[in-house]
Amino acid sequence: MVKNQRFIELMDEVRKQKPLLHVITNRVAINDSANGALAVGASPIMAEAHEEVAEIAAISGALELNIGNLTPYSIESMRLSGRAANKAGVPVVLDPVGAGATDFRLQTVQKLLEKVKVAIIRGNAGEIAALAGEKWAAKGVDAGDGNGDVTDMANRVALSWNTVVAVSGAVDTITDGRRTYRVKNGHPLFPYMTGSGCLNGVIQAAYVAVTSNALEASVAASTIYALAGQLAGEKCAGPGSFRQHLMDELYLMNEEKIQRYAAVEDVTDL
């Protein structure tokens, strides 16, 4: 399945369709998330008023829920929009930011997953470890260190919630619990840009808006995003200009760069 050609087709499809993305996210990442969505060709709307979220979710190409700055109000926004998205057949992406940091976050994610069918869960290893019930020294919203096998944890979470799981890190692991892919693109400056994982989640939403195959959407989004960061990192001196170059490289991504540099492996049978 993972052919560079397919990533290119999906990238073109996002640019052609310009899917509306309903995003409920944290106040740290909100502006970069909107700009990154525009850079890949999607059309973001950040909305969380209870009066309108169901209506917006139902007409969107995808809904992205990010729990980075939870409040009781935003939890209800996520529930209402998630239910409306499910009813309308709109795919939902969930970013369980800091799920290992507090019981409140973990319980909120679990309750959301019980009520809302999610197409892709995207998180760092610490967050996915929390969902898998694995011990892991996650540090707030950062991944931290742990000994668990990332693929095994991701598989378990994917099978429990019947979803695709995309684990970000130096290598990204994407699985539906049956097939597993690894993306080796990326750049060490990524962790110095706050909200870079949150933007990854929004790009996942842009891609799942244009295909009913959430696994291929997630592998394509993870690859194109990590590759844009890799090319950005090669051009810049530090985190400030990395952020600028990342937006540019998302916008400038093309067939030639994907064919030349995408480093994706199907590790299902390894």
Ligand X SMILES: Nc1ncnc2c1ncn2[C@@H]1O[C@H](COP(=O)(O)OP(=O)(O)OP(=O)(O)O)[C@@H](O)[C@H]1O
Residues annotated in the binding site, as ranges? 46, 122, 168, 195
Say if CB 184 and CB 171 are below 8 A apart.
yes
The verdict on 217 binding ligand Cc1ncsc1CCO (CB under 6 A) reads: no
Using the rule CB under 6 A, is 172 a contact of ligand X?
Answer: yes
- Euclidean distance between CA atoms 63 and 143, whole angstroms: 24
In angstroms, what is the minimal distance from the CB of 200 to ligand Cc1ncsc1CCO?
Answer: 10
| Residue positions forming the annotated binding site for substrate | 46, 195
Question: Residues annotated as binding site for ATP?
Answer: 122, 168
**CB of residue 89 vs Mg ion: minimum separation in angstroms?**
27
Q: What single letter denotes the amino acid at residue 247?
A: M
213 binds ligand X (CB under 6 A): no
CA distance 170 to 165: 16
Separation CA 161–CA 124 (nearest Å)? 17
| 17-36: contacts with ligand X (CB under 6 A) | none
With contacts defined by CB under 6 A, how many residues of the chain interact with ligand Cc1ncsc1CCO? 11
Are 112 and 139 contacting, i.e. CB atoms less than 8 angstroms apart? Answer: no
Taking alpha carbons only, the member of 102, 62, 108, 67 closest to residue 85 is 62
What count of residues does the chain have?
270
Beta bridge partners of 23: 46, 64
Q: Which does 69 bind (CB under 5 to 8 A by kind): ligand X, ligand Cc1ncsc1CCO, Mg ion, none?
A: ligand Cc1ncsc1CCO
Q: Give least dist CB 28 to ligand X, A.
A: 8
- Which segment (24-32, 109-117, 244-252, 253-261) binds ligand Cc1ncsc1CCO by CB under 6 A? 24-32
Binder to ligand X among 112, 198, 221, 258 (CB under 6 A)?
198
Strands 172-175 and 164-168: antiparallel
Query: How near is the Cβ of 129 to ligand Cc1ncsc1CCO at its closest, in Å?
Result: 16
Could you say which of ligand Cc1ncsc1CCO, ligand X, Mg ion, none residue 19 binds, taking C-beta under 5 to 8 angstroms by partner kind?
none
- Contact set with Mg ion (CB under 5 A): 97, 197
Task: State the Cα–Cα distance between residues 21 and 103, nearest whole angstrom.
Answer: 29
